[in-house]
Structure 1
Amino acid sequence: MQNRPLSHVRVLDFGHYLAGPLVGMMLADLGADVIRIDPPAGPRWKDPAFDMLSRGKRALTLDLKTASGRDTALDLVRRADVVIENFRPGVMERLGLGQDALRQANADIVSLSLPGFASTDPELGRLAAWEAVVAARTGQYTDMGLNRRLMGINPSFTPLGLASAYGAAFGAMSVLFALGARSRMGGDHIEVPLASALLEGLVYNCEQIEDYPDRYKSPRELELERRARDGLPNNLSFAELSEFLDPFYRTYTCADGRGFYIVSCSIVNHPQRVLEVLGLGDLLKDLPDFDVYVDQADWPGEWALRSYPVGAGDRKRLSDAMKAAFLTRPSHEWEKLFGAAKAPATAQRSTAEWLADPHALASGLVIALDDPRHGQMRQMGNVAWLADDPGAMEKTAGPEPDSFREKLTAVLAESPRMPMGGGGKGLWLDGLKVLDLTNVIAGPTVGSTLARFGAQVTLVQPVRPSVDPWNAVVFGLHAQRGKESVLLDLRSDQGQEVLWRMVAEADVITMNGTDQKLDALGLNEARLKDINPRLILVQLDAWGGPRPGPKSDHLGYDDLAQAATGVMTRFGGGPETPEEHAHFGTIDALTGYCACVALGAALERLRKTGKGGIARASLAAAGEMIQAQFMYDFDGRAPFDEPSGRAVRGWGPFYRCYEAADGWMFFAAPTEREAALTRVADVSDLAGLKGTDLEVALADRFTQRPVADWMRAFASGSVGITPLGSLHGTRDAALQRESEGQIDISKATFRAIRHDQHPMGRWVDLIAPNAVRPEKAGITIPGPAPKYGQDTREVLARLGYEDAEVQSMIDGGAAADSWSEKYLPE
């Protein structure tokens, strides 16, 4: 289909397994002409998931180990815009398709490499970086979940491909931003190490604040500290653990036996809405509600309704009352009632149930297409799209091998791409003006990500905060970096006047909210087009898809997308024991990155046509993306029997966590399998065993030597072995102090920064923005997140308001320059 956002872009996809093909699928879903290059034996990953990732692509078989195959590939490069690959470092060079060869063929080519670890990393760069090896080394299996830590379960394996999902989103956005800058900067080579992307995506699980006040810690965090302080074991049962969950942030059982998950804390009025929907409004009469942007020592009570968590004195009675109320109706009735009341909640579902969910199908979050191998196939829809692009719903199945060969001659007859003449250094988004109207995590992630590429981001928040300091300030330490901050009452006439002056000067507006919320602010497509037809609105929400669905205007957060799409039931092991996959932000951050992909496509369309529009992403779509290798169904599909629950350590004997003599490690030999064992004398006698017998024997044998010995023994071939890291350990080992000067973010796989000169008055450790590593373009480390409102006066003056007018707005409540005396109330 022509006239789609990326219909002018040609991509050569050398990717295999998950990350590379996922980037290709995202670009194809936005209209790019993607040519999948297969080896002579066919795709390396023969799986229905790969068929899904190949939708919208053309296929060509080339033997890149031959001169003719290499020459044909280079001829295609001359007629292409983008090359994607996720081989181990050095493979493309050995094939004669390294950066220099690609650039010699086409000076404007944008090439993307997605290695598991940074190619420049002397320790990790050559490690066989299977998905689970990346996850294990980074720390995904060790200290992500508070539940698992309190239950004393370590490690906790999960089959989710978080590293590939985060890496693919970073890869797709960087390719699109680089394409937009080619006319002034020329082509570029970009590396996105999956491990770097994973650590960035889990930044909120790695954040550390000096002397972190107890008021922001959940009951589970406080219990972990108490047990460590008193020398007690972490041995809680799942049932015991449930009682440490906040009443407004947990799963309840409904009359039909299904779990119903609510996340309705920290936002003004959300807990009240929950109690009113449940018929428990009378409880509100004696529950405290007051300003929480003051120090806890000045609070009139133990806790407030607008602040997480609920105090210990009220926690049990609220939970008990809510448990009883939920048992009076089935889950589907509660879902409609909560959605209508704008109280964020959802029924727990499995992945298979989500793929058949009426809203998922109606909205295009799940699509159905006729696949030549599998018949009608339901699969994940777009993870990034433009609102007025009809092609977002029109998909074609993946190609048959060699389906492109008959057209190859015609393609090679095309003239090579004409050089653009660019070549200067700079930032991809230099000069882009972004008006940020978002809150919490997913939305603000967009602006903070754009800032690293040179965008100028102005954040607008309400005069009176609608979000508690935990969500706004603690999470904002990362999500609001690199921005200037303004406080406005957008419900006032003066606030509206200021808003529309800012809109008139913006290139991009970011907003997390449903269509209903945007309409209430007047931020609809028609009005924006009248003001500036080139303006792009980036919109994120919970349940949105390319088309409206019955839940499109329901509210939701990260954990609710986990619950609805099947993440929580898989991780917990079943519908009776659903568990959050991470403590914070698993899907939130990814949604922000996917929104950047949508913006990249919108900027490309704008560059070609002069047309703005609405770029979209949603939490539910990102929830599908982290499950990409399972997010499909068809008649005759193999069972959804991927590893799940608390006891799993891996996916069979050749892809599993094992305990060595000095600690846990991950052993990955999914392709070599028994052949890998025969090469190593200490385990060669086990090669004839199968299944559980082999798993038990390997578990015993691996305990006899330290991890480093096993790494050396299996060093040849494609076997990957790594000690299990922890997120906190990975962060601490990669830490540089801001006060020491220049931060090097280009060499090591992992880098974290201790911001020891932070205006908060405490140091804070945050993951550095080093997932995207261009060869030519610059990356900036955004400055500290501003204290909310610190730039109000300066920005209003820049917009033409006199000092007296600004003071009048502040005195009258239309604007403000602070939410609290302290940056972080204690």
Structure 2
Amino acid sequence: MATRPLSHLRVLDFGHYLAGPLVGLMLVDLGAEVIRIDPPGGPRWKDPAFDMLSRGKRSLELDLKSDAGRAAALDLAARSDIVIENFRPGVMERLGLGPSALREANPRIVTLSLPGFASTDPERAPLAAWEAVIAAATGQFTDMGLNRQLMGINPSFTPLGLASAYGAAFGAMSVLFALGARDRNGGEHIEVPLASALFEGLVYNCQQIENYPERYKSPRELELDRRCAAGLPMNLSYADLGDFLDPFYRTYICADGRGFYVVSCSIVTHPRRVLQVLGLGELAATLPDFDAYLDRTDWPDEWSLRNYPVGSRDRGRIAQAMQAAFLTRPSSEWEMLFGAAKAPATAQRSTKEWLADPHALASGLVLEVDDPRHGRMRQLGNLAWLLDDGGALSKQSESPADLADLLAAEPRSSAPVSGTGGWLEGLKVVDLTNVIAGPTIGSTLSRFGAEIVSVQPVTPSVDPWNAVVFGLHAHRGKESILLDLGRSEGREVLARLIARADVVTMNGTDAQRDALGLAPERLAVLNPRAILVQLDAWGGPRRGPKSDHLGYDDLAQAATGVMVRFGGGADTPEEHAHFGTIDALTGYAACVALGAALERRRITGRGGVARAALAGCGAMIQAQFMYDYAGRAAFDEPSGRNVRGWGPFYHCYRASDGWMFFAAPTEREKALAGVPELAELADRSGVDLVEALALRFSTRPVAYWAQHLTGTASSVVPLGSLSLNREAGLQRESQGGIDLTQATYRAIRHDLHAMGRFVDLVAPNAVRPERAAITIPAATPKPGAQTRAVLARLGYSEAEIADLLAAGAAGESWSARYLPE
């Protein structure tokens, strides 16, 4: 390509710390010109991570508190397309650079604000919203996963920047979608509160289903229920947890002593593949195997190999046989054998090991950049990219910009436009995805007005836990058709759908893509304007030795270092506590790639392939640690089961009436000095200070400490929980008039659901445009509910539809009930 996908765009990046700079990084990696605006003296966050986030950007110092600096910023805005900032609400307005001032300078400007909490939230908006403050208030540290609950560990701290990662992905996609609608809607201001983005990203952890059938509960969930009902303590050890882990969803030890994580449940063929590659084919032949979509009353045995979880009768013997087999080979051999057999699994690695991993480097998931401060530096790679973007891997360090040179460009000029429609109105999407990450793409696009048709197989390949329970959120806002793509008639229906589509989404490897008939050359024949959005586990801008290996969220966690850090070491890895930690984020990152592809198509008229990968997003949630170079400081961030913070000034403490988070990472001792009960502690440090503060904080309620310690750069917030935030922000679908903008946290009770049960889900309110409409996606239909309607729309007659259904090329249902019981 002569030009990059976004090389026609100029971005002003006022971002600091993590979220704003991450948006700028995603855009510059797609070819945009990004100008980082620094205060006099340079950026406030002087850290190797910030140097990494600044790659490819040009830097310019402006004193925004001076008339000259403000005038220069407005002149630059007149010559730019996007402005990014992540100050507290009101800061840009006080500087004279609020959305209205920027739009006066440039009617087509798209501005993005990334505050910690919603600007309409009077209680939280003024807070110094450090990453952990957002996490604590939202509920990220409370009841962190089944392991921690069974061990009685609550709260738990994690240094992962989930809020900034989710917020950055929502922010990057929204500015690109808004740009595509500028001819209809004109300029736009968008707010993405990071707390709202975190709440959406963790939707599967606070989803609530009325009368949830016990068949979908894991052994750990059932043990939690048992202990709660019997009043038993939550006191399991890490070793005890092994008795409650599914054999196809856990870590084993290999001959070299390294952990090897298997996630091969729920997909019909995967458990049998695992047993075959381990040489346990005879064991597989003894295990029950029947339709997982039968109601439990019709099961011929207590569990099925096609359905998670394994039953209690066989769980122990399968795990023992698998552990014995794993001890016969080193992890490196098992990794290649499992990859070749299409059985999802990976060796456990630390973050440092991932940065040196041969596949990560070969594929471009990890990049090597010559940094002027740190020399040859390994960094997280592209988070979203287009397949044929020849410049995707050409990275440079930041460079200074000259103001006079920047102002030499012609101002963007156009008459003001003020439409209010959804950014993606009229966009037609064919969704071929399953489980969580892939379907997240379509459900996210639907809120912006896109029309989504979900195509799933006539005979389900995924059990109802993954396909239906998770699909309650992941397939919202879609029509559903069932097709057998192994039949020529089914492939013909798909070809008709693609011919009329703008976008096709799929989750799978290149080999799986090509087998579906969606290789780039074939797609160009079916529809040269169509954009394929493809995500997988290990794909990158280049091919690597693991590019065709299968994988899921937890495997990306294991491979990139998340599980080793969270568990506290290579001997005690734990999956990060929240379902879909990386899955949802990868779906959002794929939307960013689509936004770039739509921008390129708007200019060139051609489609292509837009990509994202689970492993790339596994690095994204570790962005503040995801770099290495000669002489780097140790990877010593907080890890393990019992950490509650990062030093005394960034820590969970128990007050007299409950847990709170205290954050004063820059004010530090100054924050203590003005509080009588704490002033004498200002000269202490380290562990002693943590213990002394814990003792003092225990004497007063959270509200007292919040009143006395919340300042310009410090905060105290009570530890929230996802469930409490869901309940506090719940509105009923049946009552209508659901508000998406006033609260930081909002959830919807779908009490008219076709399932016959209500389901509570997080509302789509992470992206808040000033002008454009946001649609609340309709509840997920029963699979196959619109098969006849979609076929008729494609021109099939009633007789032809009847023939397709009779031949099994199309279908209308997987089971008698929406959710098998």
Bin for the TM-score computed over the shorter chain? over 0.9
Large movers: runs of 4+ above 2 Å? none
The one-letter amino acid of 1:771's match is A
* 2:381 is aligned with 1:381: yes
Match of 2:11 in 1: 11
Match of residue 677 from structure 1: 672
3-state DSSP of counterpart to 2:589: helix
Change in CA separation of 1:43 and 1:211 when aligned onto 2, cut-off 3 Å: same
Q: Secondary structure at the match of 1:274?
A: helix
Asked if 1:698 is matched to 2:693, the reply is: yes
Question: How far 1:17 moved relative to its partner?
Answer: 0.2
**Match of 1:335, SS?**
helix
Alpha-carbon separation, structure 2, partners of 1:612 and 1:572: 43
| Contact preservation (8 Å) 1:335, 1:345 | yes
Is 1:614 the counterpart of 2:614? The answer is no
Give the secondary-structure state (helix, strand or coil) at the position aligned to 1:686: helix
Say whether 1:404 aligns with 2:401. Answer: yes
SS at match of 1:590: helix
Matched, 1:496 2:491: yes
Within the alignment, does 1:49 sit opposite 2:44 as a pair? no
Counterparts of 1:593 and 1:86 in 2: how far apart (Å)? Answer: 19
RMSD: 0.8
On the 8 A contact 1:130/1:668 being kept in 2, the answer is yes
Tell me if 1:63 matches 2:63: yes
Instruction: Confirm or deny that 1:563 pairs with 2:564.
Output: no
Aligned to 2:125: 125
Q: Deviations over 1:782-820 (max 9, x none)?
A: 000010000001110111111111111111111001111
Alpha-carbon distance in 1 for matches of 2:404, 2:42: 21
Partner of 1:472: 467
Check the 8 A contact 1:248/1:265 in 2, yes or no: yes
Q: Matched residue of 2:610: which SS?
A: strand
The alignment of Structure 1 onto Structure 2 pairs a total of residues equal to: 821
Q: What residue is the counterpart of 2:446 in the other structure?
A: 451
Matched, 1:798 2:793: yes
After TM superposition, give the deviation of residue 582 of structure 1 in Å.
Answer: 2.3
Aligned residue number for residue 731 of structure 2: 736
Amino acid aligned to 1:47: D
Partner of 2:232: 232
Which has the higher mean CA deviation after the structures are superposed, 648-657 or 709-718? 709-718
Once the two structures are superposed, residues 252-295 of structure 1 have per-residue CA deviations (whole angstroms, 9 ceiling, x without a partner) of: 00000000000000001100000000000001221011111121
Report the counterpart of residue 252 of structure 1 in structure 2.
252
Query: 1:421 Cα shift?
Result: 4.2
Whichever residue aligns with residue 530 of structure 1, its letter is V
Contact 1:144 1:205 in 2 (8 A): no
Aligned residue type for 2:197: A
Residue 591 of structure 2 corresponds to 596
With 137-146 and 257-266 compared, the bigger mean Cα shift is at: 137-146
Q: Is the 8 A contact 1:746 1:770 kept in 2?
A: yes
1:460 and 2:455 correspond: yes
Q: Is 1:270 aligned with 2:265?
A: no
Letter in 1 for 2:762: I
Contact 2:144/2:155 (8 A) holds in 1? no
The question of whether the paired residues in 1 share the 8 Å contact of 2:432 and 2:507 is answered with yes
Q: Is the Cα contact below 8 Å between 1:266 and 1:308 reproduced in 2?
A: yes
Contact 2:196/2:766 (<8 A) preserved: yes
Query: What's the CA shift for 1:128?
Result: 1.2
Judge conservation of contact 1:183–1:420 (CA < 8 Å) in 2. Answer: no
Question: Shift of residue 244 of structure 1?
Answer: 0.5
1:524 has 2:519 as partner: yes
Following superposition, the deviation at residue 2 of structure 1 comes to: 5.7
Say yes or no: does 1:817 pair with 2:809. no
**Shift in Å, 1:230:** 0.2
Distance 2:470 2:685 in 1: 47
Alignment deviations for residues 12-40 of structure 1 (CA, whole Å, 9 cap, x no partner): 00000000000000000000000000001
Cα distance in 2 between the residues matched to 1:437 and 1:690: 55
1:252–1:323 contact (8 Å) kept in structure 2: yes
The residue that corresponds to 1:97 in the other structure is 97
Deviation at 1:681, TM superposition (A): 1.6
Partners of 2:569 and 2:640 within 8 A in 1: yes
Q: Is residue 107–residue 413 contact of structure 2 (8 Å, CA) maintained in 1?
A: no
2:639 equivalent in structure 1: 644
Q: Which residue of 1 aligns with 2:88?
A: 88
Alpha-carbon distance in 2 for matches of 1:54, 1:221: 43
In structure 2, the partner of 1:22 is 22
Partner of 1:719: 714
1: distance between equivalents of 2:811 and 2:511?
A: 26
Q: Secondary structure at the match of 2:449?
A: coil
Looking at structure 2, the residues matched to 715 and 552 of structure 1 have their Cα atoms a distance apart, in angstroms, of 48
1:299 paired with 2:299, answer yes
State whether residues 184 and 421 of structure 1, in contact with CA within 8 Å, keep that contact through their aligned partners in structure 2.
Answer: no
Query: What is the SS of the residue equivalent to 1:133?
Result: helix
Q: Is the CA contact 2:457–2:484 (under 8 Å) kept in the aligned structure 1? A: yes
User: Which residue matches 1:151?
Assistant: 151
Give 2:266's aligned amino acid: S
Partner SS state of residue 164, structure 2: helix
Q: Which amino acid aligns with 2:133?
A: V
Q: Give, in whole Å, the separation in 2 of the partners of 1:413 and 1:157.
A: 49
2:654 match: 659
Q: Which sections of structure 1, spanning at least 5 residues, go unmatched?
A: none
> Is 1:766–2:761 an aligned residue pair?
yes
Alignment-mate amino acid for residue 611 of structure 1 = R
Q: Secondary structure at the match of 1:391?
A: coil
Note if contact 1:161-1:627 (Cα within 8 Å) is conserved in structure 2.
yes
Secondary structure at the residue paired with 1:586? coil
SS at match of 2:582: helix
Q: Residues 344-383 of structure 1 correspond to what in structure 2 (within 5 A)? A: 344-383=344-383
Q: Could you tell me the TM-score, scaled by structure 1's length?
A: 0.99
Q: Does 1:34 align with 2:37?
A: no
Deviation of the 1:410 alpha carbon? 2.3
Contact kept in structure 2, 1:209 and 1:765, CA below 8 Å: yes
Residue 420 of structure 1 deviates from its aligned partner by 5.3
Contact 2:55 / 2:395 at 8 angstroms: preserved in 1?
Answer: yes
